[in-house]
Structure 1
């Protein structure tokens, strides 16, 4: 496998201690021997497992802006420096490490996405990303843990869903807060068709996407979403512009729609207004609404994973740490809600 497992000594390098404070990085669980990470995962008492996905191959294969490879390292460091206190103690989380995509990224960097042959080669590389992600996430799920996957493009929803469905022996549901449905045609793997691949291949049973933007979903995609009773969706326009429904009402509709099977929880960071991301937009939800969404769904649903893709801090202005800080908030909110 291509996992780079983190030890205590590695995490200590990124945890800044202060007198009379205890940081999450000081109390999280880790593996003591990276070569035995599978065995240690089985014996760990942590419910949640943190996994980094530093890649942007899927985004580039979707003709998007690269930069999502940069989210993991900054988010990891931000999360390790959150306070460990009565609200959240670090021993509930095992920091596993990240998947190494260096060789694939090097190959992708040599390709021109505006050349047809190169674009197809890029999408073949995404299939290799799929294999690496699926392999590790499946082990996490088989150990009875909840993977918390950070970074990369939304293409990674497919291998995550596949891994957990295979580990469980049954398809799962997913709820996604996103400006885009990511349900495009099966034209080769990229960040815009992870859910359609999961659905067509029988790993995704029900899919509900909240907050779609009317400006950025094609009529073909809309028709595809409407063609199945196992797909539900709501429009950003209806919630926040026309105000036909409240945000809480739509979240609860998604939860009710997804009852009956374990459910994955997705939040595309480009749904947050002005968040540095692959498809950054001035119009979107607030950071507080993103936190509310994660907490409300996690409290009410049998959650099997959390996936926070598409953040791109390398695209942010200098000294802008909004991506890693928001990811740290979202991860801690999720653990607090899902542990109940």
Structure 2
């Protein structure tokens, strides 16, 4: 068992499922751990499901980066929507397995009690993020070692580091890749490539790159107004990193959106690739860094639909969304949008995988 992780039982899943006569909801058929003494790894190795879904409902990384807390609220809302999706011929429900979620509430409580404000709080939160990194890495590594695809619902973007590191180690352990490295394509208003100043949601890709687990990195939709010049220079000087800005797509029209995403898939080539989607890239979606200018929900759906047909997927990570922020901003629709994104990804990838187009 992985520390801080709680599995979901079938009874708990059904309690969140609105069962109706003549219908079959996803919650009625989705796979889960059976509650026996059999290890998580053994149960994962036995399941026929390809996609292992779990939550990281925390915002320590967001707060450690000076952002507004609230990302911890997405997971319950996502579950409520996701489990009530219709199980039908469009969705390969038998390929879905709901593992559970991490819980860092006690650790946050301790930080609040011992370091309530100031620089001391920032340092305490960054230390906690390192612990979260380790937990996420362990679970992702276990899933990838069994040749399954993790679907990670955040949480802050800090969890990209644990996802990249865990996927690289897991796929290498399984003999799938020759080096413990994976690439990443990130739909994001920000590069999340800040300096190594302690772990937080603004520097997961810097740490993954510096530590040797990130092969190539492409950002789609960067906002020029929020790209620090030192980071722009770092990205420009790194031949294994590339990006296309939001302005180049939607204002200057150098590319249309699908061309930009295709350029990203061409850049990572045949490397196993993590798909990263920061909800703050979507216009007016409640997130830690909400924006009045961004992509549409349709663009986000196109992103998760297109990439799985072009690359070998290491994992899917959807992060930074919230139902309620600590400043009072709220929307019940965020979880439903994430549910669309997950099902879009699964439908697209499984069809390409089944037909032998991708791994």
TM-score by length of 2: 0.92
Question: What's the counterpart of residue 338 of structure 1?
Answer: 349
TM-score by length of 1: 0.97
Which residues of 2 match residues 182-261 of structure 1 at below 5 A?
A: 182-261=192-271
> SS in structure 2 opposite 1:154?
coil
Alpha-carbon distance between aligned partners in 1 of 2:134 and 2:43, rounded to the nearest angstrom: 22
- Kindly tell me: are residues 50 and 227 of structure 1, through their superposed partners in 2, closer, same or farther at Cα, counting changes over 3 Å? same
Alpha-carbon distance between aligned partners in 1 of 2:155 and 2:346, rounded to the nearest angstrom: 21
- Contact kept in structure 2, 1:113 and 1:119, CA below 8 Å: no
> SS in structure 2 opposite 1:321?
coil
- Contact kept in structure 2, 1:173 and 1:207, CA below 8 Å: yes
Range that drifts further, 307-316 or 18-27: 307-316
- Contact kept in structure 2, 1:7 and 1:34, CA below 8 Å: no
Long gaps (5+) in structure 2: 173-179, 352-359
Alpha-carbon distance between aligned partners in 2 of 1:47 and 1:157, rounded to the nearest angstrom: 20
- Please report how far the alpha carbon of residue 35 of structure 1 lies from its aligned counterpart in structure 2 after TM superposition: 4.4
- Please report how far the alpha carbon of residue 120 of structure 1 lies from its aligned counterpart in structure 2 after TM superposition: 1.3
- Contact kept in structure 1, 2:115 and 2:124, CA below 8 Å: no
Alpha-carbon distance between aligned partners in 1 of 2:37 and 2:196, rounded to the nearest angstrom: 37
Alpha-carbon distance between aligned partners in 2 of 1:218 and 1:196, rounded to the nearest angstrom: 14
Instruction: Give the alignment's Cα RMSD to 1 decimal.
Output: 1.4
Moved over 6 A (4+): none
Question: What's the counterpart of residue 356 of structure 2?
Answer: none
Alpha-carbon distance between aligned partners in 1 of 2:312 and 2:37, rounded to the nearest angstrom: 31
Alpha-carbon distance between aligned partners in 2 of 1:160 and 1:111, rounded to the nearest angstrom: 29
> SS in structure 2 opposite 1:123?
helix
Map Cα deviations across residues 97-148 of structure 1 (whole Å, 9 max, x no partner): 0012122221233466862232112111110111111111111111111000
- Contact kept in structure 1, 2:141 and 2:171, CA below 8 Å: no
Question: What's the counterpart of residue 29 of structure 1?
Answer: 31
- Contact kept in structure 2, 1:70 and 1:151, CA below 8 Å: no
Long gaps (5+) in structure 1: none
Question: What's the counterpart of residue 321 of structure 1?
Answer: 332
Question: What's the counterpart of residue 77 of structure 1?
Answer: 80
- Contact kept in structure 2, 1:25 and 1:90, CA below 8 Å: no
- Contact kept in structure 1, 2:143 and 2:170, CA below 8 Å: no
Alpha-carbon distance between aligned partners in 2 of 1:46 and 1:18, rounded to the nearest angstrom: 25
Map Cα deviations across residues 73-114 of structure 1 (whole Å, 9 max, x no partner): 110121000011010032110000001212222123346686
Aligned residues: 339
Question: What's the counterpart of residue 299 of structure 1?
Answer: 309
Range that drifts further, 108-117 or 214-223: 108-117
- Contact kept in structure 2, 1:111 and 1:119, CA below 8 Å: no
Question: What's the counterpart of residue 104 of structure 2?
Answer: 101
Alpha-carbon distance between aligned partners in 2 of 1:161 and 1:111, rounded to the nearest angstrom: 31
Alpha-carbon distance between aligned partners in 1 of 2:237 and 2:117, rounded to the nearest angstrom: 32
Question: What's the counterpart of residue 16 of structure 2?
Answer: 14
